[in-house]
Amino acid sequence: MAGQVRIDIDGTIATITNDNPDKHNAFDDDMDAQLFEILASLSPAVRAIIWRGEGKSFSSGRDVASIGTNVSELSHHELMRRGHRGIQQLWNIDAPVIVACKGWVMGGSFQRALLCDIRVAAEGTRFRLPETTYGVIPDTGGVAVLHQMCGAGVVSDMVLTGRVMTADEALSHGIVSRVVPEAALDATVREMAEQIAAAPAVTIKLARTVLRHLSQPAVRASMDDEMIYQTFLNRSDDFAEFRAARAESRPANYTGS
Please report, for the chain, the start and end positions of each structural domain, with discontinuous segments joined by +: 4-184
In the chain, count of helices (H) and strands (E)? 9, 9
* For residues 151-158, average pLDDT: 96
Residue 217 confidence class, pLDDT cut points 50, 70, 90: confident
Write down the pLDDT at residue 11.
96
User: What's the CA gap between 117 and 211, in Å, rounded?
Assistant: 9
Residue 66 confidence class, pLDDT cut points 50, 70, 90: low
Task: Please provide the average confidence, as pLDDT, over all residues in the chain.
Answer: 92
Write down the pLDDT at residue 96.
97
Task: Identify whether the C-beta of residue 4 lies closer than 8 Å to the C-beta of residue 34.
Answer: yes
User: What's the CA gap between 156 and 153, in Å, rounded?
Assistant: 5
- pLDDT at residue 35 tops 50: yes
CATH topology of domain 4-184: 2-enoyl-CoA Hydratase; Chain A, domain 1 (3.90.226)
- pLDDT at residue 1 tops 70: no
Across 161-175, 214-228, 233-247, least confident range: 214-228
- The one-letter code for the residue type at 131 is E
Length of the chain: 257
For 71-128, how does the pLDDT look when each residue is reduced to its tens digit (9 = 90+)?
556 777 788 888 899 999 998 899 999 999 999 999 999 999 999 999 999 999 999 9
User: What's the CA gap between 110 and 140, in Å, rounded?
Assistant: 9
Write down the pLDDT at residue 125.
98
How much of the chain, in percent, has pLDDT values that exceed 90? 77
User: What's the CA gap between 136 and 130, in Å, rounded?
Assistant: 9
List 219's β-bridge partners, or say none. none
Write down the pLDDT at residue 63.
76
